[in-house]
Structure 1
């Protein structure tokens, strides 16, 4: 077993290598990035694009707005901004237009009252996009893996089918990181996605959905460090029909949920996407935010592996606290957070996924090829595969770390109960510039820890910083208490204005 000193030296070397890779990446960015007239996407001028999904569907059901007009407005917006942000990687505009006309014809032929229509189709005519990792019939399903670039979905993922049954109309599929294993949406098939608030910055997450939603395009995905409204709970929304396929302990971490601009869309979308899993939740329970117990932490206590939390994010968090209710405090340790994230994972053969269950790759050889510009894999995937090779299962260490994870889980669950929420940074920084995440690969721990602990989380935007980049916070609750986090998200949105349109800063 390596000594603590040796392990620390290895981590420092890893960090140094990441820093050098980041320097090379930023140099490449400066030399090779496409140039745009503006650093942000264009502001919205079409009123339909500023309505929530709930509002749009209501207007369509009331026959006050034509579904085809809604779909066309979104198509026009996508054509305008997608060349800048590269959020949608494959369109299905013609099919969407046909489906919109079918909705208008259905409403013209049937004179059912609005309540009946809402029960049948709660999102009738509402445009959505789907992460490329999920099957959408007729669309690619590669998860950014070059080996799978010709893989076309023959059916819909369960969650996509549920959205379609609710009346939603998919406009296309969105970008993701290679195998959804990195927090910058970039791969060697579709390239990278850009942040609509500043094109030189990352979109965040493992999905390009956030850039679409932030630019007034539709979305239905999972949470993102770019702080769009998003929520998820483990074991609620079905994962069937996405790649990579989770197995063993991975199923515990793989979770799906809606991502929207407006908080009022989260609960009804979660109802649809959860299917039978909705029985685990208490979404009909009335929540009085003033009666909730609030707990908070400004940061994880400090670590040389993770960035310090930006003062902008700390101030945004304090603004929430000072303008709200009595706050109680909880303290933890960075080590406990990191341990709880890593040690609950069983050994995973990521190299098998990279080989698409064919011949496993040689990570060291791929690193050499990448340095020569010859590898088909991205450097985050190669780095993860190399890290995987160094992981050694040691029973005593596993038991020790598992005990830390279980202790933290017990502490949080008992503290939160059924009437408490925990406020915590979603990420230690605002959206960084492209390639910078390579120098801070463990910053994902701020969200990853709650995956490891199996707790529901809702991401909430809190305006923009002085440079026009989004600020936000995550709200955590006890198991299956999503109704609490969703209620707080709506409360924050009403109090702080929620999502802010890019291009108006």
Structure 2
């Protein structure tokens, strides 16, 4: 799956939609394909000739000149630990690239990643004018006792509101009232990451802390969303690469992140790592 950097692929016609400029940066789209080689073709179709040329998608990438940064986790004390199988996927990818190319391998800890979940979530929750299904009854729904009752009922399918919707409204209120603005921190982090990666660097990083969770388990691992939201919040392209299965037979993956407008690096590395991991395989 390729998620392009913000404002590259058009979101015209997407629902929901709002006119806050932050929304155009937060919602980014890209293709999902079974085989890595098809991502480049799909991206070119979505972008059109002009942007394809600007992003140099037709140019060959020399992986021997690549700088490969990697992190197995972000060392955050408030987040769920990354599954050992996913950490192993990061290490396997690094070993493969080191053995087959003369690229520069750099194990670098971006210390700021420890705080990504708070900073990036504040950025997302500050978007104005998003369609609100609870408009008009929100104050009643969010009263503490009523909210607790509604949320408990929602978990058992006995509410007209989903637990995710109610939880979102609660988090929205928390971030609005308790969490300070982090836009400067996000901007500084973007500057740090893009300066390190430049025009020929990529970061190998977990896509998530685990394989797909069961329904409503997200409430107990919500902090792990920082792995998925990182590239999105920084305006960077990212490509998820399947790297096998966990101990339960569920598919897992790692992501290839590059600087803004360096999508071609993500795509080239994804195509190469597909050879390493065997690419798409039917679920066990």
The answer to whether the 8 Å contact 2:119/2:185 transfers is yes
Do the aligned partners of 1:233 and 1:454 also contact (CA within 8 Å) in 2?
Answer: yes
Match of 1:354 among 105, 128, 133: 133
1:460 to 231, 237, 241: 241
Shift of 1:281: 1.6
Question: How far off its partner does 1:375 sit?
Answer: 2.8
List gaps (5 residues or longer) in structure 2: 99-103
Instruction: Indicate the RMSD between aligned Cα atoms, in angstroms.
Output: 2.4
Are the equivalent residues in 2 in contact too, given 1:230–1:458 (CA < 8 A)?
yes
**What's the offset of the Cα at 1:336?**
3.4
Of 40, 45, 56 in structure 2, the residue corresponding to residue 267 of structure 1 is: 40
Residue in structure 2 matching 1:236, options 8, 14, 17: 8
Q: Give the CA deviation at 1:455.
A: 0.5
CA distance in 1, matches of 2:177, 2:213: 34
Secondary structure at the residue paired with 1:405?
Answer: helix
1:376 aligned onto 2:160? yes
Confirm whether residue 303 of structure 1 aligns to residue 71 of structure 2: no
| TM superposition shift of 1:452 | 1.1
Distance in 2 (CA, whole Å) between partners of 1:360 and 1:475 is 43
Structure 1 residue ranges, 4+ long, deviating more than 4 angstroms after superposition: 349-352
CA 1:239 to 1:367, structure 2 compared with 1: closer, same or farther past 3 Å? farther
Asked if the contact 2:239–2:266 (Cα under 8 Å) also holds between the matched residues in 1, the reply is yes
Provide Cα deviations, 1:178-229, integer angstroms capped at 9, x if missing partner.
xxxxxxxxxxxxxxxxxxxxxxxxxxxxxxxxxxxxxxxxxxxxxxxxxxx4
2:101 aligned partner: none
Q: Which has the larger radius of gyration?
A: 1
Is 1:413 equivalent to 2:188 in the alignment? Answer: no
- Choose from 261, 282, 288 the match for 2:56: 282
CA spacing shift, 1:370–1:403, aligned 2, 3 Å? closer
- How much does 1:269 deviate? 0.6
The CA deviation at 1:350 is: 7.5
SS of the residue 2:264 aligns to:
helix
State the Cα distance separating 1:288 from its structure 2 match. 1.4
Shifted more, 277-286 versus 484-493: the winner is 277-286
Tell me whether 1:329 sits opposite 2:101 in the alignment.
no
Per the normalisation by structure 1, the TM-score is 0.50
Q: Go from structure 1 to structure 2 and tell me whether the alpha carbon gap of 1:292 and 1:242 turns closer, same or farther (over 3 Å shift).
A: same
- Cα offset for 1:463? 1.8
Indicate the SS of the match to 1:323: helix
Match of 1:385 in 2: 169
8 Å contact kept, 2:16–2:130: no
The answer to whether the 8 Å contact 1:340/1:452 transfers is no
Give the 3-state SS of the residue equivalent to 2:176 in structure 1. Answer: coil
1:385–1:476 Cα change, 3 Å: same
The 1:430/1:374 distance shift into structure 2, 3 A limit, reads closer
Deviation at 1:449, TM superposition (A): 1.7
Distance 1:256 1:246, change over 3 A: farther
Structure 1 residues 15-34: aligned runs within 5 Å: none
Q: CA distance change for structure 1 residues 467 and 308 in 2, over 3 Å: closer, same or farther? A: same
Contact persistence 1:350–1:385 (CA under 8 A): no
For structure 1, the residue ranges without an aligned partner over 5 or more in a row are 1-228
- Aligned residue for 2:244, secondary structure, equals strand
Q: Which has the higher contact order (CA 8 A, sep 6+)?
A: 2
Which residue in the other structure is 1:110 paired with? none
Structure 2 length-normalised TM: 0.85
Once the 2 structures are TM-superposed, how far is the Cα of residue 469 of structure 1 from its aligned partner? 1.5
Q: Distance in 2 between matches of 1:441 and 1:383?
A: 11
CA contact (8 A) 1:367 1:375 kept: no
Q: Distance in 1 between matches of 2:171 and 2:201?
A: 37
The structural deviation recorded for 1:335 is: 3.9
Q: Residues of 1 paired with 2:71 and 2:191: CA distance? A: 17
Any idea what SS the aligned residue of 1:354 has?
Answer: coil
For residue 475 of structure 1, give the secondary structure of its aligned residue in structure 2: strand
From the superposition, tell whether residues 262 and 379 of structure 1 become closer, same or farther in structure 2 (CA, over 3 Å): same
Q: Quick check: 2:72–2:90 contact (8 Å CA) kept in 1?
A: yes
Q: Distance in 1 between matches of 2:126 and 2:267?
A: 34
